[in-house]
Amino acid sequence: MSACLDIIDLSAVLANGQRVLRSVSLTVQPGEVRALVGESGAGKTMIGKAVLGVLPSSVRIVEGDMRLEGEDLGRLQPKARRTLIGARTALIPQDPLTALNPSRRIGPQMTDRLVRILGWSGDKADKRVRQLLDEVQIREPDRVLRSYPHELSGGMRQRVLIAAAFAAEPRLIVADEPTTALDVTVQKQILRLIAELQREHGTAILFVTHDLGVVAKISQKVSVLYAGKVVEEADTATLFASPQHPYTRALMAATPRYTDPFASLKPVDETVLAGLAAEIAAADQAWSRPHG
């Protein structure tokens, strides 16, 4: 059985030639949650966008393959690729405030995709959307479906977006820091909802986050990213029990602990950063030799 998502040696550069992804490889098995963790600017979101085919025009993929359920995305015609990505993937975005069209009601926004892209009947789409709203614990589906996005709270909007993402039964969901823009009490509920729906629907998730606490709660596998390079990859339990890479250890040490709120936060150590810089430089040199 082929993996749900298979990324092999993916490299991408900016227009000025600077590398933003450095031979990234990662696999998401069907029904599995793979966390992609790293500091901001590490390229985690870039990987998600590359998979979904919405990289900004300034970023160019120069090498590597992406396979979605065995289909090589690079070999497909643009139109066929769009259709495949549209049918089998979905995004849970970072900012629920800008991810819904402000001038359209929630109902049509949610059902549209099912009707137009998957060719469902209006009734079937409506039933499906209501079922999903129930699953994300929205108690007044009629009111919500008739609302404009600005009439709902941030947490409500994120629930709507989660429901929308799961509604089309995608095989893979890219969750791009889905709790970052929410306040802490809502974060927990949203995280629990995503985990619950993931288990029920058996959807594979590529979960992008900078929060190790979230990683521990939701994922089975982790890839730790630094400067567009995967520095460590392991089962979540193994990673937390015995982190191998010094950067991973430093990240864990830098995570604030609720049990000791007055302890000062530790930034990542200088020597660790120097080691990382050397590692990246060596990798770049090795990479640029055959690539001129």
Please report, as ranges, the residues that interact with other proteins according to CB under 8 A.
52-54, 82-83, 85-87, 89-91, 93-95, 98-104, 112-113, 116-117, 148, 150
Closest distance to other proteins from the beta carbon of 270 (Å): 37
Measured from the CB atom, the residue of 31 and 86 that comes closer to other proteins is: 86
Closest distance to other proteins from the beta carbon of 172 (Å): 11
Measured from the CB atom, the residue of 74 and 256 that comes closer to other proteins is: 74
Closest distance to other proteins from the beta carbon of 44 (Å): 16
Measured from the CB atom, the residue of 136 and 167 that comes closer to other proteins is: 167
Closest distance to other proteins from the beta carbon of 149 (Å): 9
How many CB atoms within 10 Å of residue 137? 12
Closest distance to other proteins from the beta carbon of 101 (Å): 5
Beta strand 229-235 with 221-226: parallel, antiparallel or unpaired? Answer: antiparallel
Measured from the CB atom, the residue of 132 and 234 that comes closer to other proteins is: 132
Please answer whether residues 224 and 38 qualify as being in contact, where contact means their C-beta atoms are separated by less than 8 angstroms: yes
Measured from the CB atom, the residue of 150 and 199 that comes closer to other proteins is: 150
Write the DSSP symbol of residue 6. E
Please answer whether residues 174 and 48 qualify as being in contact, where contact means their C-beta atoms are separated by less than 8 angstroms: yes
CB-count burial class (<10 Å; 0-12, 13-18, 19+) for 38: buried
Beta strands in 80-217 (DSSP E): 89-92, 172-176, 204-209
